[in-house]
Amino acid sequence: MSAIKIHLPDEELSAVRRYAEEIGVTPEDLAYAALNRLMLQTKVDADTIDREIIEAREWRKNNLALWSDSARSVHIYEGKGDDPSAPSEWRT
């Protein structure tokens, strides 16, 4: 069997692990289900999916996903201290 590795920052992996635990699956199960859903959706909306994948490749270079935990988040205001790390509230 072939393998695909997904490199995630700790803040993203924590959110993935927490969600997987909530529904009783492994992070790998979650990743496969997400990939399966994405691939099926390309039959319906390939142009939008293609654009989102290319955009995600670019913003991942300097940003965390909206659903990730908050550590290392970028602050708009110069001189503002770091906020404490907190779990993502994306699903709450």
Whole-model pTM? 0.69
What are the residue boundaries of the structural domains of the chain, listed by start?
A: 10-59
pLDDT for 43 equals: 92
What integer best gives the mean pLDDT of the chain? Answer: 83
Sign of CA dihedral 88, 32, 57, 51: negative
- In this prediction, residue 63 has a pLDDT band, given cuts at 50, 70 and 90, of confident
Q: What is the pLDDT of residues 19-51, one digit of tens each?
A: 999 999 999 999 999 999 999 999 999 999 999
Q: Could you tell me what percent of the chain has a pLDDT over 70?
A: 76
Concatenated DSSP letters of 23-77: HT--HHHHHHHHHHHHHHHHHHHHHHHHHHHHHHHHHTTT---TTS-STTPPPSS
Tell me the CA distances in angstroms from 77 to 7, 74, 80, 81, 82, one per residue in order: 29, 9, 6, 9, 11
Structure tokens at 51: 């654009």
